[in-house]
């Protein structure tokens, strides 16, 4: 059965291994399946819920596109575009915000996490961005959306909004109700310095993450310095519950080798971390070094990247503008 897949990545700059294994590697696998129709969006409207440097944002949009292509997403077969160039996203988000309910948004846990203790100072955009996310998905009649654990709640909200719009206007299936594509077992990659924290570009120490533009020597050095514990590698998965750093590194290896945690634990049972880190560095360099070199090459070709975005914009705009026009007619405009 064919799938229409929509997914977005924020242009935050300095994309890292967590972004790659948590999302982009999965996108590549989905994009090469002949029956899948994939749309990959650089969600720059979502990015500005937090103040951005305008010059950096433009650079980061191109860098995200370069990363998509360097990782293996074919821009001829798939639509790649940036969200802000398609006005229908903002227009649909307003119409859907009139359908969404305050109580639904109040339950969104990610807002509470991102806003921190002083929620009064958070932007309205940060609060309501799950509605924009719903618009992103519903405009393209997506049947499936790749989601990690932290986005499942937002997709559930999207489904609720779609269903309510259909019900409010007595439409059986104007909006398709999208299904989640739950990502693989080890899609959530943690910090190299603290196995309980998600890998993030905002962490002060660069040693906490593998950046997608890191060279071979940098990758090897970061893995060598990655935090571990003094025990040998475990003999069962259950032992990892109290060993977050070991679980994180074994999980990375599993994702990179398209294996699972149980097989990886069995492969390295009783080994010391220095031996395992050599193997992990080897598979990391084999996978990431070609991507890193290609990203650096593509970033220098702004004209090529801008053409990819322009071509993607034309395709996406045609689909989304038709859908939002129908939405406007339904509500009475």
Whether 47 shows a pLDDT value over 60: the answer reads yes
25 is catalytic: no
Closest CA to 16 of 219, 244, 283, 248: 219
CB 60 within 8 A of CB 9: no
State the pLDDT at residue 196. Answer: 92
pTM for the complete prediction?
A: 0.90
State the pLDDT at residue 203. Answer: 87
What structural domains does the chain harbor? 3-188+302-331 (3.40.50.620), 206-297 (1.10.240.10)
Mean pLDDT over all residues of the chain?
91
pLDDT band per the 50, 70, 90 thresholds, residue 288: very high
Q: Which residues contact 238 (CB under 8 A, 6 or more apart)?
A: none
Task: Give the ranges where 116-151 is alpha helix by DSSP (H).
Answer: 124-138
b (16+ CB within 10 A) / e for 279-293: ebbeebbebbeebbe
Query: From CA 264, how far away is CA 284, in angstroms rounded?
Result: 15
Choice among 3, 59, 114, 279 that is catalytic:
114
State the pLDDT at residue 115. Answer: 67
Choice among 4, 59, 184, 198 that is catalytic:
198
296 is catalytic: no
271 is catalytic: no
Choice among 4, 58, 164, 201 that is catalytic:
201
- Annotate 224-271 with DSSP letters as a single string: HHS---SSPPPSSGGGGGG-HHHHHHHHHHHHHTT--HHHHHHHHTT-
């Amino acid at each position: 059965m064919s799938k229409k897949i929509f997914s977005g990545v924020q242009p935050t700059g300095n994309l890292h291994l967590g972004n790659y294994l948590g999302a982009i590697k999965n996108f590549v696998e989905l994009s090469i399946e002949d029956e899948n129709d994939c749309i990959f969006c650089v969600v720059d409207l979502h990015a500005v819920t937090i103040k951005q440097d305008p010059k950096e944002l433009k650079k980061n949009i191109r860098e995200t596109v370069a990363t998509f292509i360097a990782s293996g997403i074919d821009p001829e077969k798939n639509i790649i575009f940036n969200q802000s160039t398609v006005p229908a996203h903002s227009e649909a988000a307003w119409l859907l915000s009139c359908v969404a309910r305050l109580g639904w948004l109040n339950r969104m846990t990610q807002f509470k996490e991102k806003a921190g203790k002083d929620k009064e100072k958070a932007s309205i955009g940060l609060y309501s961005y799950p509605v924009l996310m719903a618009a992103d998905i519903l405009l393209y009649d997506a049947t499936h959306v790749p989601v990690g654990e932290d986005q499942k709640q937002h997709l559930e909200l999207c489904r609720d909004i779609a269903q309510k719009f259909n019900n409010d206007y007595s439409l059986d299936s104007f909006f398709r109700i999208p299904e989640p594509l739950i990502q693989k077992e080890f899609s959530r990659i943690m910090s190299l310095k603290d196995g309980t924290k998600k890998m993030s570009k905002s962490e002060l120490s660069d040693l906490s993450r593998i950046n997608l533009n890191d060279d071979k020597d940098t990758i090897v050095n970061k893995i060598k310095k990655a935090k571990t514990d003094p025990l040998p590698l475990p003999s069962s998965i259950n032992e990892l519950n109290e060993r977050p750093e070991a679980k994180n590194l074994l999980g990375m290896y599993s994702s990179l080798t398209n294996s699972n945690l149980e097989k990886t634990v069995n492969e390295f049972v009783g080994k010391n971390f220095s031996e395992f880190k050599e193997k992990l560095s080897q598979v990391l360099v084999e996978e990431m070094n070609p991507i890193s070199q290609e990203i650096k090459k593509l970033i220098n070709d702004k004209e090529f990247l801008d053409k990819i975005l322009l071509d993607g914009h034309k395709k996406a705009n045609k689909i989304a503008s038709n859908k939002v026009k129908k939405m406007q007619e339904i509500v009475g405009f």
